[in-house]
């Protein structure tokens, strides 16, 4: 059983559309990170959120950490083909500084 | 920028062989990690190290061992490779020991096939 559940597993959309990826858990996390992985490469960190209710924006990407620090979402506005990739959430609990990863959401943006 | 280099991009080994996966980071990071990545399962932590000659088990250490003789180098060893160890192996590093929101820097991965 995954500590972090991501949904959906796959997402295919047309360029210009919006999308949201979810990351949920029954555990409380001291911080949550989002990574993007492109084919043939390792994951690259996009953002870290640490405060319940926190919202961070990175150009067209908006990240939110749930008030109870058990869930997070990633919203992409006006998606572009360059947004294609595997999006992974990863959480760290206060008593354990190892990161636990979700299974990932594969996003495909069609031109 | 930090560089994490994994020695092989692809490896093909036979069942029962001893396999070494090497990882080197160039930014004096204290922590190093080995993950395996399988479709639908995400990244699962095998072992990590927060100092030279120190190692700790992750979530799936069975069938693996590690070595960290120098700060910049972290090796993953499959003592007797089995087909269920066919996977993508990712090495990562982070700066400081014991913090909960450290950024991980990943290598490009080694795709290991055990026949």
Contact B4 A42 (CB under 8 A): yes
Pairwise CA distance, residues A31 & A100, whole Å: 11
Query: What's the total number of domains in chain A?
Result: 1
Tell me the pLDDT tens digit for each residue of B102-111.
889 999 999 9
**pLDDT category of residue B40 using cuts at 50, 70 and 90:** confident
Range of the domain at A15: 5-110
Residue in A with minimal Cα distance to B49: A98
Residue in B with minimal Cα distance to A96: B100
The answer to whether B108 and B6 are in contact (CB under 8 A) is yes
Tell me the pLDDT tens digit for each residue of A44-80.
999 999 999 999 999 999 999 999 999 999 999 999 9
**pLDDT category of residue A98 using cuts at 50, 70 and 90:** confident
Query: What's the total number of domains in chain B?
Result: 1
Pairwise CA distance, residues B6 & A100, whole Å: 22
Pairwise CA distance, residues B77 & B58, whole Å: 14
Pairwise CA distance, residues B111 & B49, whole Å: 22
**pLDDT category of residue A11 using cuts at 50, 70 and 90:** very high
Distance from the Cα of residue A106 to its chain's centroid: 11
Residue B99: CB atoms within 10 Å:
14
Residue B22 in domain: yes
- Give the residue among A26, A27, A7, A23 at the shortest CA–CA distance from A90: A23
Range of the domain at B77: 4-97+104-109
Among A43, A50, A103, the residue with its CB nearest the CB of B101 is A50
Tell me the pLDDT tens digit for each residue of A18-48.
999 999 999 999 889 999 999 989 999 999 9
The answer to whether B5 and B93 are in contact (CB under 8 A) is no
pLDDT on residue B35: 96
Q: What's the Rg (C-alpha) of chain B?
A: 13
Pairwise CA distance, residues B51 & A32, whole Å: 24
Pairwise CA distance, residues B24 & B27, whole Å: 10
Residue B114 in domain: no
3-state secondary structure of A49: strand
3-state secondary structure of B83: helix
Q: Detail the DSSP E strand segments found in A1-111.
A: 5-7, 10-14, 19-24, 31-37, 44-49, 55-58, 61-65, 71-76, 85-93, 96-101, 105-110
Q: Spell out which residues of chain B touch residue A30, defining contact as CB-CB under 8 Å.
A: 100-101
Asked whether the predicted pLDDT for residue B114 surpasses 80, the reply is: yes
CATH code of the domain in which B72 resides: 2.60.40.10
CATH code of the domain in which A76 resides: 2.60.40.10
Residue B47: CB atoms within 10 Å:
23
Among A4, A6, A92, the residue with its CB nearest the CB of B101 is A92
3-state secondary structure of B84: helix
Put simply, whether B42 touches A (Cβ < 8 Å) is: yes
Put simply, whether B32 touches A (Cβ < 8 Å) is: no
Pairwise CA distance, residues A48 & B96, whole Å: 16
């Amino acid at each position: 059983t995954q500590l972090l559940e991501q949904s959906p597993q796959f997402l295919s959309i047309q360029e210009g559309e919006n999308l949201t990826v979810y990351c949920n858990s029954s555990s409380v996390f001291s911080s949550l990170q989002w990574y993007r992985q492109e084919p043939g490469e390792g994951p690259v960190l996009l953002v870290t959120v640490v405060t319940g209710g926190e919202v961070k924006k990175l150009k067209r990407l908006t990240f939110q950490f749930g008030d109870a620090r058990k869930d997070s979402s990633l919203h992409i506005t006006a998606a572009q083909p360059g947004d294609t990739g595997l999006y992974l959430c990863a959480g760290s609990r206060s008593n354990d500084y190892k990161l636990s990863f979700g299974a990932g959401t594969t996003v495909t943006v069609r031109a | 920028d930090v560089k994490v280099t994994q020695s092989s991009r692809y490896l093909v080994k036979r069942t029962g062989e001893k396999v070494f996966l090497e990882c080197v980071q160039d930014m004096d990071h204290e922590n190093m990690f080995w993950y395996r990545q399988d479709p639908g399962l995400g990244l699962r932590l095998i072992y990590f190290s927060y100092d030279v000659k120190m190692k700790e088990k992750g979530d799936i250490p069975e069938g693996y061992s590690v070595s960290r003789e120098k700060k910049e180098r972290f090796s993953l060893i499959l003592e007797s490779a089995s087909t269920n160890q066919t996977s993508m192996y990712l090495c990562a590093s982070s700066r400081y020991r014991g913090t909960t929101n450290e950024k991980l820097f990943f290598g490009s991965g080694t795709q290991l096939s055990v026949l």
